[in-house]
Amino acid sequence: MEGESQLRRELASDTDVATQDHHTYTSNNEIPFETTYMIGLGMVGLVEEVLGKKEFEGHIYARKTILLDRNQQLREAQLREIENEVNIL
């Protein structure tokens, strides 16, 4: 799709993407991104194209949102797996 290839080009040319740390936001009002459209939906979450706001303004990103289990033990195990994957990247 043209939109996806444009997104890949934008991300590939934006070196800041690779140096950003993971962030957790406690309120939707804190999130400095605006969703433009959903790129894909999988078993554990979804990937969206987002436009940066505030300090990220002028940049287009892909954001992966992962749905976590409500059970605290399962949730903690999922978070450890996600952290391991992020550390590998």
The per-residue pLDDT for range 43-53, each reduced to its tens digit, is 778 999 999 99
Q: Based on the structure, what is the number of domains in the chain? A: 1
The CATH number that applies at residue 20 is 3.30.200
- pLDDT per residue as tens digits for the range 11-33: 444 444 445 566 777 887 888 89
Residue 23's φ and ψ, nearest 5 degrees, are: -130, 145
Angstrom distance (rounded) from CA 82 to CA 89: 11
Evaluate whether 51 touches 74 at the Cβ level (below 8 Å): no
Angstrom distance (rounded) from CA 52 to CA 31: 9
Structural domain harbouring 35: 2-88
Instruction: Tell me the C-alpha to C-alpha distance, in Å, between residue 84 and each of 21, 77, 79, 88.
Output: 14, 11, 9, 6
